[in-house]
Amino acid sequence: MPSPLSEAARAAYSKAFGLEPTVLAQAPGRVELLGNHTDYNGGLVLATAIDRGTVIAGRSIPEREGQVRSTGFPDPDRFDLEALETDAPGAWGRYVRGVVWTLREAHGPFQGGFQAAIAGDVPLGAGLSSSASLQAALALFLLQAGVTGQTADLDDPARMALAKRLQRGENEFVGVQSGLLDQFSVLFGRAGMALSLDCRSLEYERLSLGSPPPAIVICDSKTSRRLADGMYNQRRAECERVVAFFQAKRGPEAVTWLRDVTLEELQDAWSRLDTVGRIRARHVLSENERVRQGVEALRAGDSARLGHLMSDSHASSRDDFANSSSYLETLIESAEEAPGYLGGKLSGAGWAGCTVNLVEATKADDFAAAVRHHYTRRTAIVPDVHICHAAAGASGL
């Protein structure tokens, strides 16, 4: 049965181009359960795709250009596939071009152009990977439309290769120095499953969230930030300074990532590291251990333990990585007072956006109502609260 989102994409395409679409593709958003800012440090992450996402409807055209509409933005976008510019107006346009660029870099010139309409229900700038959802949906759309000359039949190795290509597009074309977590999660998701990923070895595992699983409740602070404004890249640079210190001490062959440093080594070098870098590193290294423990909690079916680890992760993000905000703290405090709460944390890059909360499934509605009440009373902002489920990864429709 068509979803409201796919119907919205179909309708937007027909309105914009006067035709029925011949190709549809979708990709979910994602929430990070554990592993905050660990991915670009070669660390461990635990995430799940969610049933909020992006659908793209359209068709191939003979002209070598992209013609794109988005239901979320008023202005259409049109560009030459052979003359891509990084300073495209609006973030969504940069991401569209970035996908075209990275697929072209991998596979060569496109065999034609495309028309597409985009519809999505992932909150923008909220730490739920709306950008990776757009990237993956567009990549699947382009593969299915046949303009890349490559197959759209993706097994897991092909999905990993695509995730790395999309990460490259975000890093090199868009200019956001993200890790692999977002693209991996939206491509590898499965209903009812969490995903663990070792970002150094790229080994991964799908883990059941339980039967029945706890609810994943996403609370949107209704505040936003832009990744490209420098804060995300600044944190990455702070981590890289610590890596450089240990490379000078142990050699570049021994230390490629912050992951290659142990907590014991960090403690031994504490007084010789700058005061900012050492606490950033402490967060990353302790977060890797929380991911290990979170995987064991899932294997044991211990949702309460996973919730405690998520709350510990949030405290570390707030105190050592300094990527929380007063609004996110108010959301967490509101959640702590709500029924059924097992644990929660900020989601994604931080500084604004959403928290992700693990909640007893039978109390999810009461939890959502309580958070809305407490947060609105304290901030005069009505938060969006989404009761979500783990969802399948990107696919054609």
Q: How far is CA 192 from the centre of its chain?
A: 18
Number of Cβ atoms within 10 Å of the Cβ of 15: 11
Q: Which entry of 182, 220, 312, 320 is annotated as an active-site residue? A: 182
Q: Cis link prior to 123 (omega < 30° from 0)? A: no
CB-based contact 68:76 (threshold 8 Å): yes
Distances (CA, A) of 282 to 37, 165, 279, 291, 323: 12, 30, 5, 14, 14
Within 8 A by CB and 6+ apart from 190, the residues are: 49, 206, 390, 392, 393
Within 8 A by CB and 6+ apart from 275, the residues are: none
Number of Cβ atoms within 10 Å of the Cβ of 59: 17
Among 123, 129, 120, 131, residue whose Cα is nearest residue 56: 120
The residue type at 67: Q
CB-based contact 226:175 (threshold 8 Å): no
Q: What number of residues does the chain have?
A: 397
How many Å apart are CA 130 and CA 273, to the nearest integer?
A: 36
By CB neighbour count within 10 A (0-12 exposed, 13-18 middle, 19+ buried), where does 158 fall? middle
Q: Secondary structure of 275-329 in the HEC alphabet? A: HHHHHHHHHHHHHHHHHHHHHHHHHCCCHHHHHHHHHHHHHHHHHHHCCCCHHHH
Give yes or no: 220 in active site. no
The residue type at 151: T
Helices (H) and strands (E) in the chain, counts: 11, 12
In the 8-state DSSP scheme, what is residue 390?
Answer: B
Query: What are the catalytic residues?
Result: 182
